[in-house]
Amino acid sequence: MAGTVTRFAEVFTLGARLPGQVFREPRGDSLFCEYDVVLAPEIWPALREMARWHGDDRVDLLVLEPGARQTVSAPVGSEGYWSAIGHESDDEFLDSIAVTADVIAVTGPSGQWGCWGERGPEVAVFQGFPDAAAREEWRERFGPFLDAAEAVESYVWMAFGGRRPVPDEYAAALVADYGIG
């Protein structure tokens, strides 16, 4: 596990939290989705596509909060993502990463792409698209995914008790760190 966590630390600033910059090397190609989407079985094709673009044979997920760091891996050629993070029965529900994880990071062995998600602001952010055309095709195929400003309007406001607009300081920081460069 230590080697895997070290690799995550090369892609992400593990102590950072949104709206701050969580990627060590921001790419300016961010897309956001609701946090729970990344912890649902329907996201697997989108994660596989990201991994395949970068030659990764697996997708790794690191739980940063709560508690001790936990990692899981799913081979790209399998359907193992949900079995690794989900729950198969009511008995496993409370042990499921999909239910208990509050802060997660997802990447592949290449470290050329990543997804960071936080339950607090109710969002996950993806970076590492090969180019603008691939980003837009991925967005349309697997979406809904939004840019930073759209995410503030459509997703983040829920984390502030449904208060609109989102506090200016938070919204400005998220858009500054994750806006299209």
What are the domain boundaries of the chain?
2-11+32-145, 148-181
Rounded to an integer, what distance in angstroms lies between the CA atom of residue 75 and that of residue 53?
14
**Per-residue model confidence as pLDDT tens digits over 88-138:** 545 554 568 888 999 999 999 999 999 999 999 999 999 999 999 999 999
Mean of all residue pLDDT scores within the chain: 90
Closest CA to 25 of 140, 110, 112, 100: 112
Rounded to an integer, what distance in angstroms lies between the CA atom of residue 48 and that of residue 110?
13
% helix / strand / coil in the chain, to the nearest 5? 40, 20, 40
Structure tokens at 172: 């400005």
Pair 4, 109: CB distance under 8 Å: no
94 three-class SS? helix
For residue 30, which phi and psi values (nearest 5 degrees)?
-65, 140
pTM reported for the whole predicted model: 0.92
**Per-residue model confidence as pLDDT tens digits over 50-80:** 999 999 999 999 999 998 788 999 999 888 7
Q: Select the more confidently predicted residue: 159 or 135.
A: 135
Q: Are strands 58-65 and 70-75 parallel, antiparallel or unpaired?
A: antiparallel
